[in-house]
């Protein structure tokens, strides 16, 4: 646990920004313009990963991207699966961009055998009962959890037992997981709420209800 967590998050995003840079070199000031984070912060983040820049020309885009990627362990290819193939889950099935970023979509699972037969998919689909075995056998470390809220916790526990260590959860509940397992919640209503709260907090008209 060497790089501060906020820096890690920014560095992950920085990769995406670097991928959109046309020039060979980029300065921290330019990165500030593209990201909104102060150039100071960006330089400090980058210094965490021990980059050696070409100084007065800025950072070499390609080198920097590789250094970040390596230092965060993103050069490792990891297997993942999609669980729950409703509208949302099946939307991801056909998104082709995962491989390019080092993530191999190994399988899709759904409790409805009918749905599995009907869907067209570039990756194999399986009924839910085969999930534990396949997770173990194919070394699936990560999962996109796209099942309905009422089965999410149950499914979650079973895949963790089978070996999954990281979950992106789209179900609108807080999953209870062991500390060793990482979860990121992507719940659109919470995002709307967070934005709504930000709008409210930013509106000058809503002066603090002066507590104490």
- Residue 161 as a binder of DNA (CB under 7 A): the answer is no
Q: How far is the CB of 20 from DNA (least distance, A)?
A: 17
Residue 191 interacting entry, from DNA, its own copies, none, C-beta within 5 to 8 Å by type: its own copies
- Residue 193 as a binder of its own copies (CB under 8 A): the answer is yes
* From 56-64, 82-90, 113-121, 131-139, span contacting its own copies (CB under 8 A): 82-90
H-type helices in the chain, by residue range? Answer: 5-19, 28-35, 39-48, 61-71, 87-93, 113-118, 131-137, 149-162, 188-202
> Which of 67, 71, 81 lies closest to 121 in space, CA to CA?
81
- Residue 38 as a binder of DNA (CB under 7 A): the answer is yes
Looking at the Cβ atoms of 205 and 212, the one nearer to DNA is 212
Residues 105-134 that bind its own copies (CB under 8 A): none
Among 88, 119, 123, 162, binds its own copies (CB under 8 A): 88
DSSP 123-179: S-EEEGGGHHHHHHHTT--EEEE-S-HHHHHHHHHHHHHHT--EEEE-SSSPPP--T
């Amino acid at each position: 646990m060497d790089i501060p967590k906020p820096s890690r998050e920014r560095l992950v995003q920085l990769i995406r920004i670097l991928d959109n840079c046309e020039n060979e070199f980029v300065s921290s000031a330019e990165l500030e313009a593209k990201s909104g984070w102060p150039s100071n912060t960006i330089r400090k983040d980058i210094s965490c990963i021990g980059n050696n820049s070409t100084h007065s020309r800025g950072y070499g885009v390609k080198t920097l991207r590789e250094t970040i990627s390596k230092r965060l362990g993103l050069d490792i290819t990891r297997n993942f699966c999609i669980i729950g193939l409703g509208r949302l889950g099946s939307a991801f099935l056909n998104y082709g961009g995962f491989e390019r970023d080092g993530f191999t979509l190994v399988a899709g699972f759904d409790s409805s055998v009918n749905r599995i037969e009907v869907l067209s998919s570039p990756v194999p689909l399986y009924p839910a009962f085969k999930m534990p075995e396949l997770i173990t056998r194919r070394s699936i470390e990560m999962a996109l959890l796209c099942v309905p809220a009422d089965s999410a916790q149950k499914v979650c526990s079973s895949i963790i037992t089978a070996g999954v260590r990281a979950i992106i959860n789209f179900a609108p509940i807080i999953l209870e997981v062991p500390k060793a397992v990482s979860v990121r919640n992507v719940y659109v209503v919470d995002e709307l709420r967070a934005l709504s709260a930000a709008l409210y907090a930013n509106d000058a008209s809503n002066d603090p209800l002066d507590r104490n």
